[in-house]
Every structure is written in structure tokens, then in C-alpha cells.
Structure 1
Amino acid sequence: MGLLTGLRDSIGRVTERLFSASDPKRIGIYGPPNAGKTTLANRIARDWTGDAIGPESHVPHETRRARRKENVEIERNGRTVTIDIVDTPGVTTKVDYKEFLEHDIDEEDAVRRSREATEGVAEAMHWLREDVDGVIYVLDSTEDPFTQVNTMLIGIIESQELPVLILANKTDLEDSNIKRIEDAFPQHETIPLSALEGDNMDEVYDQIAEYFG
């Protein structure tokens, strides 16, 4: 009886691996608030499916829950890579409701948003530890990348042995500094882009196909 049970379990594991290998890879889009994660997620989704994932906003923490776009087929160099995009809330050590007041949001709504954003950070961390197969890490190239949050998240991604692409976003802005991001994380290749303008997206798609295919 034990032999039969072991055989069934072994066959089940092999079958699971065979089927899971063809399943779409879940790719989490991570980074600090306002780095352009949703803009990038929408750019990818629109380019390959025609649909957006969620609203874009200059207000911090507008994405307060992870949003998923399934079965995005990216065709590069004669092959097709299928991924599920997970647009996650911006990760930060603290969400202050006063940030929302600066954008003409009343106090009650600001408090609600800050609470939801805090819960969203916890959800993003859960996805990172349990539910993604790879990470696209988006940084605002006009901001200093040497932060506690960025160092922590990159460390967690590396400890999970997840493939990661680091994207230096907002190259359309005058203060963009790609080298600063390259110097912050020299162990990973940095890809410059403007998700808003669509600049250098061909290279982004080539790298997605190579890393996550």
C-alpha cells in the first residue's frame, strides 16, 4: 500500500511540473511609490492586449491593492512568452495620511487611503514571498536609489532567487540619472526607459522574454 501511495505521489509531482512549466509566469512589478509601476504595467498590457490594468495618478499610493493582468503574450524573435502581470502597491516603511492632504484630499479620505495603502504594502510583500516567479523592479531615475526600502527589497528578491530586471524609469525627465541606479545595484543590469513615452520598450520586451521565458 505504501509503495502504491509513493508511486502515485511521484507521478503526481512529475505531472504537476509538466503542467506548471507551461503555465504563465507571474511577474510582479515592484518598487517605491510613484516610480511609474502602473504606467509600465499599463504600457505592457496595452501593447500586447489592448487593455489597461488600472488608473495612473501623480497621487502617492494610488495603487493600494495588487492588480493582475493574466495571459499577456509577448512575441519576441519568433517566440511567444506568456506572463501574468502583477502590479503591486509601492512599498515604503511608513504611509502618512498627511501625504494625501497635499493633494487636496480631505482628512477622512486621507486616513482611509493611508490605511488601505499600509494593507497594500503587506499584500505586496506576501506576493513577493509566496506568489511571483520573477520581478520587474521599477525605479524613478530622477530619485536617489540608495534607500532602505530598495536595498531591503532587492535583498529579499535575491534571497528568494527570483529573476529580476531593474528598470530606470522616467528617462524623459531632465533630472534622470541612470548611472546612479547602475552604481546602486551593479550586480544587476539596469535598463533605461520611459514607460510614459514608450521609449526603449523594445529592449524591455527583449529582456522580459529572455529572463522570464
Structure 2
Amino acid sequence: MGVIRSFRKNFSDFFKKLFNKKNARIGIYGPPNAGKTTLANRILRDWTGDAMGSVSHIAHETRRARRREGVTIKSNGGSISLDIIDTPGLATKIDFHEFMELGMDEAESKRRAKEATEGVIEAVKWLENLDGVILVMDATEDPYTQVNVTVIGNMEARSLPLLIVANKVDLPESSPSTIRDAFPQHPMVAISALEGKNIDTFYDEIAKRFG
């Protein structure tokens, strides 16, 4: 009887947690300069009138995860409430010399590289607490990179819902079909986070995938 009572209690606790969860926690992931913060800003401006953070052409400008709670997105007559987490750009290696090439002195470059590395570790840890992931890829770049493959493999291992975003389709050299062909097992939407192109389709996919 003790085993049965324990099972019933655990089963009841599971459903209480499931139905008491107010917001789906969705992480925005991807390599540096793919447009993660631009996309986070687009979502927040469209639905709250606010913004997540500043955007820069310098890689690893976002070095700490940033969270915005209770962002309600309406689509197809319904709505979904999300906690949006904008994560630092993922990279397999962060070299301080890259910052020095941008004109920073050695001390500043090393500080940035250290913070960026810590940010990557933090982004990976966030995966333990997410309900789904938006993986942003630059549609002008080769999608079949170690970072993208690693992130997708990690999502699949955790059985997290995943939506791939092929960003920067406003650029003439973009090729979102290359991303679709590289990872056909996952849904993908091609957008320009900067210009808002195809953004309504993106919101429809969010509702469908994470709702």
C-alpha cells in the first residue's frame, strides 16, 4: 500500500506542477551574431513595447542570459504566455585575440573573453530549466557547424521542442533552404528579425510548437 500511495502522490504532484505552470520558458539560442537579441527585441517590442537589450556587430556582446517574464503572444485566435530567455552566443572556442582585432586592449579583450566563456556555460545550464528552444541561425552562413549540430543534438537528447529560425532573409545572399535541407527533422521558419519580414508566420509557429 505504501508503494501505491507514493505513486499516487508523485502522480498528483506531477499534474499539479504541469497545470500550475503559468508561462512556458523558451530559450533563444544560436551562434554569435545570428540575431538572437534582435529577435528577442522584436518579440518584446511587438507584444510589450519594450526591448531586451542592445545589439552590436561585435561577437559575444551578450555575455549573460537575460530573461523577460510573461510575454503574451497572440496567434490564430489563441495566445501563449512565455518567459523569453536571450542567451549568449554559443561557441566552441573564444579567443581574446578576436577582441583585440576589434581595437580593444589586451586587458579588456581578456576580460570580455572570460565573460563570454562564462556566458556560454550559463547558457548551457539554462537548458535544464527550459520548456523549449528557438535556435537562431544566420541564413547567409553555412548551417552545418559544430555549434548548431551540438545544440540540436542537445535538444533532441533532452526531448525539448525546437523551432529553427533562419534569420537575415533580408540579405541577398541568404539561403534559408540550405538550413532546411541540413536539419529537415525540425520545423523551420525563415524571417528577418531586423525588418520584421515573415514575423507573423514566426508567431504562428511559436503557438503551434510551444502552445
Q: Is the pair's TM-score, using the shorter chain for normalization, greater than 0.5?
A: yes
Q: Which amino acid aligns with 2:145?
A: T
Structure 2, unaligned runs of 5 or more = none
Cα-Cα RMSD: 1.7
1:75: Cα distance to partner?
A: 0.8
Equivalent position SS for 2:192: coil
Mapping 1:121-200, distance limit 5 Å: 121-128=120-127, 130-200=128-198
**CA separation of 1:9/1:193 partners in 2, compared to 1, >3 Å: closer, same or farther?**
closer
1:206 aligns with 2:204: yes
* 1:27 partner SS: strand
TM-score by length of 1: 0.93
The alignment partner of 1:26 has SS state of strand
Cα distance in structure 1, aligned partners of 2:184 and 2:204? 20
Instruction: Using the TM superposition, give the Cα deviation of residue 10 of structure 1 relative to its aligned residue in structure 2, in angstroms.
Output: 5.3
Give the number of aligned pairs. 210
Asked if residue 42 in structure 1 is aligned to residue 41 in structure 2, the reply is yes
Instruction: Quote the offset at 1:106 in angstroms.
Output: 1.9
User: Which residue does 1:17 correspond to in 2?
Assistant: 18
Query: How far is 1:56 from its partner?
Result: 0.5
| Residue of structure 2 equivalent to 1:73 | 72
Would the alpha carbon gap of residues 115 and 10 (structure 1) be closer, same or farther in structure 2, given more than 3 Å must change? Answer: same
CA apart distance, 1:9: 5.5
Report how far residue 8 of structure 1 moved: 5.6
What aligned pairs does 1:58-137 form with structure 2 within 5 A after superposition? Answer: 58-128=57-127, 130-137=128-135
Equivalent residue letter for 1:62 = E
Cα-to-partner distance string for 1:103-156 (whole Å, 9 max, x where unaligned): 22222111100000000001111112x111001000001111111111111011
Deviation at 1:96, TM superposition (A): 0.7
Query: Aligned partner of 1:206: which letter?
Result: D
Q: Is the 8 A contact 2:162 2:187 kept in 1?
A: no
CA distance in 1, matches of 2:2, 2:159: 35
Amino acid at match of 1:166: I
TM (norm. structure 2) is 0.94
Structure 1 runs of 4+ with >2 Å offset: 5-18
How far 1:16 sits from its partner (Å)? 2.6
Alpha-carbon spacing, 1:10–1:185, altered in 2? closer, same or farther (3 Å): closer
- SS of the residue 2:136 aligns to: strand
Instruction: Indicate the percent of aligned positions where both proteins have the same amino acid.
Output: 56
CA distance in 1, matches of 2:186, 2:10: 39
Letter in 2 for 1:29: I
Q: Secondary structure at the match of 1:98?
A: helix
Cα 1:11–1:175 shift into 2, 3 Å:
closer
Mark the CA change 1:14 to 1:180 in structure 2 (over 3 Å): closer, same or farther.
closer
CA distance in 2, matches of 1:34, 1:9: 43
Return closer, same or farther for 1:16/1:93 CA change in 2, 3 Å cut-off. Answer: same
Rounded to whole Å, the distance in 2 between the matches of 1:186 and 1:16 is 33
**CA deviation vs aligned residue, 1:134-181 (integer Å, no higher than 9, x gap):** 010000011111111111110110111111111110111121011211
- Kindly indicate whether the alpha-carbon contact (under 8 Å) linking 2:25 and 2:130 is maintained by their aligned counterparts in 1: yes
CA distance in 2, matches of 1:162, 1:10: 21
Structure 1 gaps, min length 5: none
Query: Following the alignment from structure 1 to structure 2, what is the Cα–Cα distance between the partners of residues 45 and 103?
Result: 30
